[in-house]
Amino acid sequence: MAPRRFLKILADGDRPQFTQGSGRIELAAAVVGPDNPLTARVIVNRIWLQHFGRALVRSPSNFGTLGQPPTHAELLDWLAVEFVESGWSIKRLHRTIMLSATYQMSSQYNAENFKHDGDNRSIWRMNPRRMDVEAWRDSLLDVVGGLDQTIGGLPTERLLSSRRRTLYSVVSRNGDRFESDEFLRLFDFPSPRATSAKRVTSIVPQQFLFMMNSPFMIERARELARRLAAEAKNDAQRIDRAYRLLFARPPTDREQAIGLRFLTQAKQPNHTATNANEPKLSAWEQYAQTLLSANEFMHVR
């Protein structure tokens, strides 16, 4: 019988055999040992990917010869060393990345920089990226004042009628058994049947149909309209408040004018729904639904 030891194809040099117990302790020690820098690099690369939308090693599941080389090898090594020396503190690694000037850069387009580095490999700006479906749904509930931030408790099977964070939704490994399955998959939630290093971002008509017609979005629009009515006195102030809530900025003069014109037209008696089966929404509910469905709200810039 072959003795317990590392697979030679996965180990550098001759590794000692495991002589006591199952060898799991020795394996764990070897994985995080000082002579194995790969573990720290992989963790750092995955966390960088979550913050920037692109990893330092573009093939996060393949650091081998068939994978892509790091775009910033020195940065990856420095972060890995800092990570290990901090006691493998993921919280400190998050803080180091998020307090950096690189993370705090704008995603503003620059024609000269784009001409030399259109793929942004040198990270001259932040990569605009769409929020994961969990963050997007939670943000929709939060801006209307309806997110239940209770920690712990039972998971929910009816995600679209629940106010709990998406973290607590039930996901099925065997088809669409729960309400959450179809909704999450529509917005690119990865299959629970396999591991996924990076989510694929798709743009399909069904996503926009959901934002236009789903009872979940219509109810969020009504709640946002009620919140704006309670927090501002007139249409102009409510538009300003809406932009600050949803986009963290004031509206431009053009956006303010478009919003006021839309509200004026939507309040006219002859302004009716084109489909008799559509739920009747007030002018402000229609405007709120438009803002909640905006591309800017769904993206981190």
Q: Which of 55-64, 126-135, 268-277 has the lowest mean pLDDT?
A: 268-277
Distance separating alpha carbons of residues 68 and 275, to the nearest angstrom: 52
Distance separating alpha carbons of residues 266 and 268, to the nearest angstrom: 6
Q: What is the pLDDT of residues 36-71, one digit of tens each?
A: 888 999 999 999 999 998 999 999 988 888 889 999
Contact yes or no for 34/77 (Cβ under 8 A):
no
The confidence score (pLDDT) of residue 276 equals: 46
Nearest to 157 by CA among 176, 134, 136, 138: 176
Distance separating alpha carbons of residues 181 and 31, to the nearest angstrom: 35
Provide the β-strand partners of residue 40. Answer: none
pTM: 0.81
Provide the β-strand partners of residue 299. Answer: 130
pLDDT greater than 60 at residue 272: no
- Residue found by looking up tokens 């793929």 in the block: 119
Alpha helices in the chain (DSSP H): 24-31, 38-52, 73-85, 90-98, 111-116, 133-143, 179-186, 205-213, 215-231, 235-247, 253-266, 283-292, 295-298
